[in-house]
């Protein structure tokens, strides 16, 4: 019998704790498949952040370190500077990276740290119960913006991919989305490109992945995917914001 | 190797290199900036790496990452910067990662000033960050002692899988003294089977974390930490005593203040007061033994600090009500003089009122 579908060896055989319809699990799988396909699982150290993905160290089948809230890029810097021939990646949410950890993220990029950041943008703080994130959309209702985010009161959403692309140390910056199959395929290509960038020693790479949070958005899984398409894509346009030279044009 | 005339901050840096430390992540702050600058120059030639972080928070987290790979790694700062490192230190303690953190303390609170102070005693000895933990704290009094204690700090860190703090003050960091480094760097490295370096055929993936969502198992982790702390208390307390065998009155002081206090004690003895000196070298664990040895015959203890009275609490706990404990302190970067300490000692010996800061 021909095997048409297999679990990736990049993930441990552990059920995840993510809510039904949450795209964190899909993004894990994409990262894991890339590590497996590049045959670098044994040479990789991942850094888990604080957010719903805090337990990602129980899922990724490689050495993992858990970092304080927002500090994953600094922790990754420490690892990579000691072990420049290993692959080092962080997996961070938008509260973690774009709010409390924006300094660490910007400076890791500015230094051109040869690491890869998987940045999961779900426009909300998932783990703490649906509070406003720096990426929350104008008008979006959250536990801490009950009347909807108001630009006059809370400012405008931060566009991380655009911001990071302004830094000279950033080699590859791309925004992708996990809301449908064609985009998931593109997302995997982008993640692969980021790790190839790291392999070639070209410097900092960050892949922003638009992701769902049905639980805190108060939507069904299908409605959530639709919500990404309708509401997030116009504010967070997909595309390559900085293109590293590996493997030609993305 | 012969004697070298060096600044305290440079001695700390060179001693760390001698102890096998190859990685330093730092951020400038007076009065420890020479340490950072020395490392920036010295580590690349020693085959290591110096990186200036964007903040103390980033620096301590870089230390966390590097420590997880098993190398000897350190950072240093002074009081305001040390406060910022507390989150990371709590994570190092929780994840049981060895590292050295130097605090060359200055006057506080807030931005305070850049003069010497010992007012970070509570912060370094009582945890500082969140959660139930203690960190071994070493407090050298001379530049030569720094060399020994830095080596021991890295060994304690490895042996117990714990961060270790070296606490000095601006005076220790800035003073110059002749020092001698051991001929052959004595590096006793411990095998570390818990590191995250990529599995590379070495079994299942490993995880470094301080998280445990289950109450019972987090309690078990905490019990494990407490057993470790008990063993550090038992085995690692260090102190020095002077004239304590026949003394009636004991000055208790650490670091640079102990150096000044020695002369006050000598002068008091000349004047017929049987005075002695207890100098804690580890501030955590606070050395109990010299107090057990003396408290049943002591007529009084005088704690002297460059603070409003912090170590004195540990002196009181160690004396446990068996003798009077008084306190003399200067703050804000004012260094107590030998004469002042002498005067306080004479008042203590006279059994009179101590001073407005005393009890
Ligand atoms: C220093 C600190 N502040 C706050 C928290 C609480 N906290 C845990 S997760 C989180 C936000 C996570 O949101 P995000 O990064 O967007 O990830 P998601 O849960 O949405 O995947 C916060 C604020 C913490 N753990 N540590
Ligand atoms: S709370 Fe949101 S982000 Fe977190 S697991 Fe559930 S759906 Fe996913």
Q: What share of chain A is helix, strand, coil (3-state, %, to 5)?
A: 40, 20, 40
Chain A residues with CB under 8 Å of B88 CB are 68, 71
Does A95 sit in the ligand 1 pocket, CB within 6 Å? Answer: yes
- What spacing in Å lies between the alpha carbon of B174 and ligand 2's midpoint? 52
Nearest C-alpha in A relative to B48:
A82
Query: Which residue owns the Cα nearest ligand 1 atom 10?
Result: A51
Contact list in B for residue A90 (CB cut-off 8 A) is none
Domain assignments of chain B as residue spans, ordered by start: 3-189+223-235, 239-349
Ligand 1 contact, A53 CB (< 6 A): yes
pLDDT at A248 over 70: no
* Mean pLDDT on A98-119: 98
Complex ipTM value: 0.96
Which of these CATH numbers, 3.40.50.920, 1.10.8.50, 3.20.20.80, 3.30.450.20, describes B239-349? 3.40.50.920
pLDDT, tens only, A216-227: 999 999 999 999
Q: CA of A205 to nearest chain B CA: how many angstroms apart?
A: 18
Contact between chains at B196 and A67 (C-beta distance less than 8 A)? no
Q: What is the pLDDT of residue B1?
A: 67
Q: pLDDT band at residue A202, thresholds of 50, 70 and 90?
A: very high
**CB–CB of B112/B138 below 8 Å?**
no
Cβ atoms of residues A65 and B207 within 8 Å: yes
Q: How many domains does chain A have?
A: 1
Q: Hey, which residues 103-122 in chain A have their CB within 8 Å of chain B?
A: 103-104, 107
Q: What angle do CA B346, B352, B355 make, to 5 degrees?
A: 80
pLDDT of A249 over the 60 cut? no
3-state secondary structure B155-220: HHHHHHCCEEEEEEEHHHHHCEEEECCCCCCCCCCCCCCCCCCCCCCCCCCCEECCCCCCHHHHHH
Per-residue pLDDT of chain B (359 residues; tens, 9 = 90+): 689 999 999 999 999 999 999 999 999 999 999 999 999 999 999 999 999 999 999 999 999 999 999 999 999 999 999 999 999 999 999 999 999 999 999 999 999 999 999 999 999 999 899 999 999 999 999 999 999 999 999 999 999 999 999 999 999 999 999 999 998 766 767 778 999 999 999 899 999 999 999 999 999 999 999 999 999 999 999 999 999 999 999 999 999 999 999 999 999 999 999 999 999 999 999 999 999 999 999 999 999 999 999 999 999 999 999 999 999 999 999 999 999 999 999 999 984 444 444 43
Q: How many residues does chain A have?
A: 250
Q: Is residue A13 a part of any domain in this protein? A: no
Comparison of pLDDT for B359 and A47, the residue scoring more? A47
Element containing residue B45 per DSSP (H, E): helix B33-45
What does the DSSP 8-state code read for residue B114?
A: S
Q: Whose CA is nearest to atom 8 of ligand 2?
A: A22
Tell me, letter by letter, the H, E, C secondary structure of A187-248: HHHHHHHHHHHHHCCCCEEEEEEECCCHHHHCCCHHHHHHHHHHHHHHHCCCEEEECCCCCC
- Alpha-carbon distance of B233 to B238, in angstroms, equals 10
Name the token pair of A194. Answer: 């980021």
Say which ligand is closest to the CA of A100. 1
Dihedrals phi, psi of A97, to nearest 5 degrees:
-85, -45
Return the CATH architecture of domain B3-189+223-235: 3-Layer(aba) Sandwich (3.40)
Assess if residue A175 is contained within a domain.
yes
Question: How far is the C-alpha of B259 from the C-alpha of B273, rounded, in Å?
Answer: 19
- Residue B176 pairs in a beta bridge with B7
Query: Quick check: B47 contacting A, CB < 8 Å?
Result: no
pLDDT at A6: 84
A126 lines ligand 1 (CB under 6 A): yes
Tell me whether the CATH fold assigned to B3-189+223-235 matches the one assigned to B239-349: yes
- Taking only the tens place, the pLDDT of each residue in A146-190 is 999 999 999 999 999 999 999 999 999 999 999 999 999 999 999
- Is residue A21 domain-resident? no
> Is A218 domain-assigned?
yes
The mean pLDDT value for A22-50 works out to: 98
Question: Which band of pLDDT confidence, cut at 50, 70 and 90, is reported for residue A247?
Answer: low
The answer to whether B211 touches B131, Cβ cutoff 8 Å, is: no
pLDDT at A250: 45
On chain B, the residues whose CB falls within 8 A of the CB of A13 are none
Question: What pLDDT does residue B358 have?
Answer: 40
- Assign residue A202 the CATH number of its domain: 3.40.50.970
pLDDT of residue B127: 83
What is the predicted pLDDT for the residue at A206?
Answer: 98
Are A62 and B199 an interchain contact pair (Cβ–Cβ within 8 Å)?
yes
- For A74, the domain range is 39-242
List the single residue in A with minimal CA-CA distance to B200.
A42
């Amino acid at each position: 019998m021909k095997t048409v579908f297999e679990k990736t060896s990049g993930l441990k055989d552990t059920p995840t704790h993510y809510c039904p319809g949450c795209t964190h699990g899909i993004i894990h799988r994409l990262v894991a498949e890339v590590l497996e396909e590049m045959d670098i699982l044994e040479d990789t150290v991942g850094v888990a952040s604080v957010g719903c993905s805090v337990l990602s160290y129980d899922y990724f089948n490689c050495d993992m370190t858990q970092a304080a809230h927002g500090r994953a890029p600094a922790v990754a810097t420490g690892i990579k500077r000691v072990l420049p021939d290993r692959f080092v990646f962080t997996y961070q949410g938008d509260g973690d990276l774009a709010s409390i950890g924006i300094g660490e993220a910007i400076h890791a990029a500015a230094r051109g740290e040869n690491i890869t950041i998987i940045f999961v943008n779900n426009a909300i703080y998932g783990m703490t119960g649906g509070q406003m994130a720096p990426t929350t959309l104008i008008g979006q209702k959250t536990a801490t913006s009950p009347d909807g985010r108001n630009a006059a009161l809370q400012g405008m959403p931060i566009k991380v991919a655009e911001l990071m692309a302004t830094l000279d140390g950033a080699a590859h910056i791309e925004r992708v989305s996990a809301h449908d199959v064609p985009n998931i395929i593109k997302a995997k290509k982008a993640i692969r490109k980021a790790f190839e960038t790291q392999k070639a020693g070209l410097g900092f790479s960050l892949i922003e992945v638009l992701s769902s949070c049905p639980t805190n958005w108060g939507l069904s899984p299908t409605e959530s995917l639709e919500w990404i398409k309708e509401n997030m894509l116009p504010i967070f346009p997909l595309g390559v914001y900085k293109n590293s030279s590996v493997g030609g044009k993305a | 190797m012969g004697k070298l005339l060096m600044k305290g901050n440079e001695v700390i840096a060179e001693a760390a290199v001698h102890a096998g430390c190859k990685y330093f992540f730092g951020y400038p702050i007076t009065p420890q900036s020479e340490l950072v600058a020395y490392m920036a120059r010295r580590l690349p030639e020693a085959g290591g790496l110096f990186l200036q972080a964007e903040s103390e928070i980033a620096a301590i987290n870089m230390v966390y990452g590097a420590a997880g790979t098993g190398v000897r790694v350190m950072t240093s700062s002074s009081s305001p910067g040390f406060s910022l490192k507390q989150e990371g230190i709590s994570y190092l303690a929780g994840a049981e990662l060895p590292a050295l953190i130097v605090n060359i303390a200055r006057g506080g609170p807030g931005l305070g000033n850049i003069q010497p102070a010992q007012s970070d005693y509570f912060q370094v000895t009582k945890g500082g960050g969140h959660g139930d933990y203690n960190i071994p704290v070493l407090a050298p009094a001379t530049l030569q002692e720094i060399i020994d204690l830095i080596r021991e700090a890295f060994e304690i860190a490895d042996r117990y899988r714990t961060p270790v703090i070296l606490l000095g003050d601006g005076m220790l960091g800035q003073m110059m003294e002749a020092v001698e480094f051991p001929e052959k760097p004595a590096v006793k490295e411990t095998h570390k089977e818990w590191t995250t370096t990529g599995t590379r055929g070495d079994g299942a993936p490993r995880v470094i974390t301080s998280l445990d969502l289950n109450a019972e198992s987090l309690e078990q982790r905490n019990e494990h930490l407490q057993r470790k702390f008990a063993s550090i208390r038992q085995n690692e307390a260090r102190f020095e005593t002077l004239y304590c065998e026949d003394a009636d009155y004991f000055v208790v002081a650490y670091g640079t203040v102990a150096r000044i206090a020695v002369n006050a004690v000598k002068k008091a003895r000349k004047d017929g007061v049987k005075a002695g000196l207890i100098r804690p070298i580890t501030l955590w664990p606070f050395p109990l033994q010299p107090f057990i040895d003396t408290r049943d015959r002591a007529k009084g203890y005088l704690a002297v600090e460059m603070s409003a009275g912090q170590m004195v609490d540990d002196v009181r706990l160690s004396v446990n009500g068996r003798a009077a404990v008084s306190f003399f302190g200067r703050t804000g970067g004012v260094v107590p003089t030998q004469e002042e300490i002498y005067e306080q000692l004479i008042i203590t010996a006279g059994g009179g009122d101590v001073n407005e800061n005393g009890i």
